[in-house]
Structure 1
Amino acid sequence: MLIDLNGKTAVVTGAGRGIGKEIARTLAREGVIVAMLDNHSSLVQEAAGELTGEGLQALPYECDVRDFVRIEEVVADVALKQGGIDILVNNAGVAGGGPVETLKEDMWDLNMDVNVKGTFLMCKAVAPIMKRRRSGRIINAASFAAIVPSYGSAAYAASKSAVHQFTRVLAGELGPWNITVNCYAPGMIPTDMNHFAEQPPERQERLLDTLTLRHWGEKDDVAHLICFLASDFAGYITGTMIDVSGGKLATQIPRVAYEAAVKAGAHEF
């Protein structure tokens, strides 16, 4: 089986770097025309330039997902030039936080505005275009924090939990038009936002001990899932959140399995 996305048009937010950039590149390598949105103009221009330099089709747009006027302009331009929009990936997000007692109100608002409101506004703009064509794929970035939050992550975890529930409601609303809506929950994938791979060795070991697959994830682990969810193979999957975390906390203490494997004669982990 081959995933065939050739000729589709996608909008990817937060595409100037990190996971968003990798999602855009992976989709483009599958023949998708990718509109890359980011609120940092220089980043998204450079990222799109890298893709076009590979012979891929990428269109850069400076766009803050909190600005509905700008969103409507961008979405209308993409739909006009490409004849519609097939895929929307709401990847843009922030992750600031801190303990509730010291959490600044503006940091709470930033998490809600970018992670939740930004997702809502992008869907609000793109859904009518997909409904006219009676097809589409909307894929939203949740987080493992929506499953099990961590200390000091109240704002981030609350926002990503909201994205999960928003995804379920929107799936129900758009089902009659053959539009699927899903979200993904990355876990231990080093990025410029979490700096996992830059932590001291002992801190990294402690984090890796929570994984069933005891190694860091890669950005393309998420991008490959996005390609699947955007394809016809995922046509009967909607309203769900898929965990992409290497089995983080799949069992209570994943490290135990590695200790047992060593005792059974496996190599040292």
Structure 2
Amino acid sequence: MQIMQTPFHLDKRIILVTGASSGIGRQVAISASKMGARLVLHGRNQEKLQETLGMLEGDNHQLISSNLLTEEGRNALVAQAPAIDGLVHCAGVVHPYPIRFLDQKKIDETLNINFEAPVLMTGALVKNKKISKNASLVFLSSISGQHPHKGGAMYGSSKAALETFVKVVALELYPQGIRCNCLSPGMVQTPMYEQAEKDMSKEEMDKHVSRYPLGPGLPEDVANAAIFFLSDASRWITGVNLTLDGGFLLEG
């Protein structure tokens, strides 16, 4: 496969994508493969990772199945992964809980997956020298980290914490030429979007969708932004949180 050499190409770069079994993570992997990258696909569902693998262009891609919530799972990732030139961390959960229903279990459930896991994973990769010089790290946040909404206490807080972590990583790793940035999408048409359609009434869903001047996003919209951050086209950008919301926040 001949790769068009533009600042956006990822030819011969090794890119680790977590949460690659579905949704945005799967699309990031597909898009990166089209730009010439060699993918390391990570997730907990081996069967779905195999499905993603079958959608990729090129060859020599790798699958790693483990649980990032456990030290054993993180060690497995570090042991099996080669030194990477890029990371897109997409793994996460959305659990809407009104504050009156919050308890320690629900708090830990969201924070452990959305914040603790990526923090400890990144630390393990750095400690074991699995991030190459001049690499680019991209973490998936959400507009919920900037825009409070009912039921979003823990989800929004976990994403706001992640955004601060990204800035600290950018500060600590820039001497090695390593960049670190965030993507904060709004509503994107993924399996989570489909679940929201089931959980909300049609009236509620239509009202929410109407707040997006450009409509809900597609996984490709987020993937394209991730490719930008992974590539040399963004070589002078680090510590940034890019909002991808189809104009949602314009409404206040």
Return the TM-score normalized by structure 2: 0.90
Tell whether the 8 Å contact from 1:28 to 1:58 is kept in structure 2 after alignment.
Answer: no
Match of 1:41 in 2: 46
Query: For residue 212 of structure 2, what is the aligned residue in structure 1?
Result: 211
Matched, 1:163 2:162: yes
Retained in 2: the 8 A contact 1:183–1:242?
yes
Q: How does 1:9-158 map to 2 (within 5 A)?
A: 9-51=14-56, 54-79=57-82, 84-128=83-127, 129=129, 133-158=132-157
Indicate yes or no: 2:233 matched with 1:233: yes
| 1:218-258 Cα shifts (integer Å, max 9, x gaps) | 00000000000000111111111100111112134xxxxxx
Task: Identify the residue that residue 220 of structure 1 maps to in structure 2.
Answer: 220
How many residues were matched structurally?
244
The residue that corresponds to 2:13 in the other structure is 8
- Look up the equivalent residue of 2:166 and give its one-letter code: T
SS at match of 2:251: coil
Structure 2 Cα separation of the partners of residues 244 and 156 of structure 1: 17
Are residues 112 and 10 of structure 1, via their aligned partners in 2, closer, same or farther at CA, if it must alter by over 3 Å? same
> Tell me, which stretches of 5 or more residues in structure 2 are unaligned?
1-5
Q: Partners in 2 of 1:231 and 1:106 — Cα distance? A: 39
CA contact (8 A) 2:7 2:233 kept: no
TM normalised by structure 1 equals 0.84
Measured at CA, do residues 2 and 239 of structure 1 come closer, stay the same or move farther in structure 2, by a change above 3 Å? closer
| Deviations 1:97-127 (CA, angstroms, capped at 9, x unpaired) | 3111112321211111111011112211222
- Tell me the SS of whatever aligns to 1:135: strand
The amino acid of 1:238's aligned partner reads T
The verdict on how the C-alpha distance between 1:248 and 1:56 changes in structure 2, with shifts beyond 3 A counting, is farther
- Residue matched to 1:260: none
Query: For 2:235 and 2:125, how far apart are their aligned partners in 1?
Result: 19
Once the 2 structures are TM-superposed, how far is the Cα of residue 201 of structure 1 from its aligned partner? 4.1
Q: Is the 8 A contact 1:97 1:103 kept in 2?
A: no
Superposition RMSD on alpha carbons, in Å? 1.8
- Cα distance in structure 1, aligned partners of 2:60 and 2:204: 40
Q: Show CA shifts across 1:70-123 (max 9, x none).
A: 2233233221xxxx2100111100111311111232121111111101111221
Contact between 1:97 and 1:108, CA under 8 Å: does it hold in 2?
no
User: Deviation at 1:200?
Assistant: 4.6
Deviations 1:46-80 (A, max 9, x none): 222333xx54543221121112332233233221x
Residues 66 and 76 in structure 2, CA contact (< 8 A), matched pair in contact too: no
> Which residue matches 1:258?
none
When structure 1 is superposed on structure 2, of 69-78 and 32-41 the one drifting more is 69-78
CA distance in 1, matches of 2:163, 2:217: 21
Q: Secondary structure at the match of 1:139?
A: strand
